Amino acid sequence: MINSHRQKPEGALVLNLSVLPDPEKERKEIIHRYRRLLRQAKPILKEGDARLIRKAFNLALEAHRNMRRKSGEPYIFHPLAVAEICVGEIGLGTTSIISALVHDVVEDTDIELADIEKMFGRKIARIVDGLTKIKGVFEQGTSAQAENFRKMLFTLSEDVRVILIKLADRLHNMRTLDSMPRQNQLRISSETIYLYAPLAHRLGLNVIKTELEDLYLKFTEQEDYEDITRRLEESKSIRIKFLRSFVQPIKEELDKLAVPYEIKSRPKSAFSIWNKMRKQNIPFDLVFDLFAIRIILQAPLEQEKSLCWQVYSIVTDYYTPNPDRLRDWISTPKANGYESLHTTVMAKNGQWVEVQIRTQRMDEIAEKGYAAHWKYKGNQAGYESNLEKWLLRVRELLERQDLTALEFVDDFRGNLFNEEVFVFTPRGELKTLPVGATALDFAFEIHSDIGATCIGAKVNQKLVPINHILKNGDQIEILTSAKQKPGEDWLRFVVSSKAKSRIKESLKEEQKKVVEEGKDIVSRKLRQLKIEAGPQTTEQLRFYLGEPSNFTLHFKFGKGIYSVNELRRFKEYRQSGAHKDKVRVQEAAQVSPLVIPTKPKSDDILLIGEDMDVVEYKLAKCCTPIPGDEVFGFISVNEGIKIHRSNCTNAPELLANHGNRVIKAKWTSQYEVSFLTGLKVIGTDRVGLINDVSKIISEELKVNMSSISFRSDAGAFEGEIMLYVTDTRHLDFLMGKLEKVDGVVRVSRFDSRPS
């Protein structure tokens, strides 16, 4: 049963806030936010919709009446904000507004799904169910985050609005993340960059994707984020002045076209600038394409393409284009429905400027993605088919029952590629694949049986192997043989999730056959040796050979890795009686790892430098943390606790998928031990440079080096030094000294490397 809200009239605003501080002020603020939501929704409301929205609002307000967020605000602010994002920023309708308002009531209160269905119908109940986290304890080796993500996506096959509302929910949580504890900030930010930002990109929600990325940067690399946003703000006036002179001649020509248009300019996002700086190892000053010009035309559907190319001609009449940077997503839209014409041109001052040319319809789809799709569904079949093809792939993935939640999330992320390659069948049918796809990926895209029997391909009439990487515009013919079957090495060079899943299925079937053969071999040979075959004997044999499971035991016998000689030795071993002791030791060894990976209390902190006697931990080799770095502990299955830097390249995956195995960790001030880390040094080459660098490190600062390697090319050099430092202050001081060496242009710490 649910509470007294059932007795309230549907039209009444239920505002029982007497227990809250300053209830009158909060009551007015809640009414203000509710009315603001209704004003935004007004253009899309049909008869009776306002009554249903008020009913949902009353339910949410009553259900959350004694709840507050970490910030201290009334909890009802959150569902109201999510509903506003749904209608105002994504462009969803009444069903989504109602679902957003009540999306947390089943998870956080005594109200049940059946109550939601009775009040609002099955459709809204299904959406709320998709947004409700699974409760309970998860088995070891599983991931609560992955299980909940998979549950949410299961409703995708029925209603994509579940994902869109979840993205709105995540966006508001990220906007209000300041009030959360640091460990929660890292976990939620990592989930966001690992799954939700790529998902927003794939659904065409470019504005939301960009904000999610920037907020991730804000909470994980705060100094870099603040530095980039400050620099962008400082250069704003110079940028505006430059853009005004850049667009002036273009505007004069566009006016002659007599087509309504708008010119916008936008700086690159902080995250995209940071990403470029990190990947290319360059400072902010060397990121040249800091902004883009967008020309938006109001054009009839049938004239869109020709008018966009006319504008391209106008732009390139005044400015020289870079032929390698032309992107035509009008003729071939991206898989998420994105359409636009991109070119990069050289301005008169020698600066590269990206120019995007599109129509108003294309711009709306680029901003609001899947939601805008419904508005243009009737007259834009190409957009629908591209997005529906991707949704079809996801639905196929959801239908597979043999995947664990973690395998599912991994395969799903394989469907979130940022870039695609467009190729053709021999008959000219267009196929879209992820960048890096091979001929084998293409074969599986055509049909699973064709992929499984593929022996090679003809690409543009030229014979190529199955691992040949495809390029845009390639025309592919697949060659097959009935004798061919998938091998484990195939998984190394396919990139599409469809190909990976089909190969894994085939390998599992093959493994099952081998295991059955192995079972028969073991059973037959044991009888020949006059040993009773049964579960107890199998367990003893498994422990004797040191195999982790019966599956691997039988697989190795089936493959011929173990022979009858092993069984003869096992018989002698059994007769000696030693097997009884070994079984006890083995069983104890199996139990002991299960004791360690338990979730510590939320306020427990691992003190690095003091707790070694209490609990075993190691420093992760993928990011080589040193004192002063922000870190977290991760409970691995076989190697105890690993300490990772918060900005380790593996951190997003660990925090997103295994938050229940993450513990807080910090360095103790007394920890006076040296840690290995790496420095990259770049500059102009000269005689004696390496000697000067090594003198500062070894003689002046008394720092031990593990290795040093320098490469010189045409007067420039790049060096890598592995050395031992005590903490980040020690490292910063050393880097400052090295930067003063004549010829050294830049010194940077090695970026984290994925394990």
Residues annotated as catalytic are 107-108
State how beta strands 291-297 and 352-359 pair. parallel
Structure tokens at 746: 């830049």
* d(C-alpha 634, C-alpha 621), whole Å: 13
Could you report how far apart the first and last alpha carbons of the chain are, in Å?
A: 51
Are the beta carbons of 110 and 564 closer than 8 angstroms?
no
Q: Angle at the Cα of 101 (from 652 to 8), degrees rounded to 5?
A: 150
Rounded Cα–Cα distance for residues 602 and 600 (Å): 6
Distance CA 146, CA 162 (A): 16
Task: Tell me how far apart the alpha carbons of residues 539 and 553 are, in angstroms, rounded to a whole number.
Answer: 10
Sign, CA torsion 150/151/152/156: positive
Neighbours of 134 (CB within 10 A): 13
Find the Cα–Cα–Cα–Cα dihedral 134, 136, 140, 145, rounded to 10°. Answer: 30
Please report which residue ranges of 66-196 form alpha helices under DSSP H. Answer: 77-84, 94-101, 105-108, 113-120, 122-131, 144-154, 161-175, 182-191
Distance CA 8, CA 62 (A): 10
**In this structure, are residues 670 and 609 in contact, taking their beta carbons and an 8 Å threshold?**
yes
Distance CA 304, CA 306 (A): 6
- For residue 431, the cross-strand partners are 423
Q: How many Cα atoms are found within 13 Å in the side-chain-facing hemisphere of 683?
A: 22
Cβ–Cβ under 8 Å, residues 298 and 259: yes
